[in-house]
Amino acid sequence: MTVTLQSTAILDMHASLEEVGKALEAKMDEILPRPDGLESNIISLHDGHMQTQSSSVGDEGIVMEAMRYASLSGGKRLRPFLTVTCANIFGVSQHAALLAASAIEFIHTYSLVHDDLPAMDDDDLRRGKPSCHVKFGEAVAILAGDALQAFAFQILSSQEVHSDPYVRCELVRTVAKAAGANGLVGGQMLDLAAEKKHLSVDEIIRLQRLKTGEIFAVSCEVGAMLGKAAPNLRNALRRYAHDLGLAFQITDDLLDAEGTREETGKHVRKDEQRGKATLVKEMGIDRARAQAQTLAQQAIAHLEVFDTKHVRHLQALAEYVVTRKQ
Q: Which of 235, 293, 297, 323 is the binder for its own copies (CB under 8 A)?
A: 235
Do 249 and 240 contact (CB within 8 A), yes or no? no
In 3D space, the residue among 125, 128, 216 whose CA is nearest the CA of residue 175 turns out to be 216
Size, binding site for its own copies by CB under 8 A:
69
Query: In sequence order, what are the residues at sequence separation of 6 or more whose Cβ sits closer than 8 angstroms to the Cβ of residue 76?
Result: 17, 21
191 versus 319: smaller Cβ distance to its own copies: 191
24 versus 148: smaller Cβ distance to its own copies: 148
Q: Which of 5, 193, 301, 305 is the binder for its own copies (CB under 8 A)?
A: 193
Q: Which of 70, 86, 210, 279 is the binder for its own copies (CB under 8 A)?
A: 210
Do 86 and 237 contact (CB within 8 A), yes or no? yes
Measured CA distances, 146 to 87, 107, 114, 307, 322 (Å): 27, 10, 9, 40, 32
111 versus 264: smaller Cβ distance to its own copies: 111
Do 318 and 293 contact (CB within 8 A), yes or no? no
* Burial class for 284, CB neighbours closer than 10 Å (0-12, 13-18, 19+): exposed
CB of 92 to its own copies, least distance (A): 18
Can you say how many angstroms the Cα of residue 289 is from the centroid of all Cα atoms in its chain? 22
- CB under 8 A: which stretch of 39-47, 74-82, 277-285, 317-325 binds its own copies? 39-47
Query: In sequence order, what are the residues at sequence separation of 6 or more whose Cβ sits closer than 8 angstroms to the Cβ of residue 42?
Result: 30, 31, 99, 154, 155, 158, 160
306 belongs to the binding site for its own copies (CB under 8 A): no
Q: Which of 16, 102, 131, 174 is the binder for its own copies (CB under 8 A)?
A: 174
- Rounded to an integer, what distance in angstroms lies between the CA atom of residue 249 and that of residue 220? 17
DSSP letter (8 states) at residue 54? P
CB of 95 to its own copies, least distance (A): 18
CB of 79 to its own copies, least distance (A): 16
Binding site for its own copies (CB under 8 A): 33, 39, 43, 47, 49-50, 55, 58-60, 62-64, 67, 110-111, 114, 117, 119-120, 137-140, 142-143, 145-147, 149-151, 153-154, 156-159, 164-166, 168-170, 172-174, 176-177, 179-182, 185-190, 192-193, 203, 206, 210, 221, 231, 234-235, 238
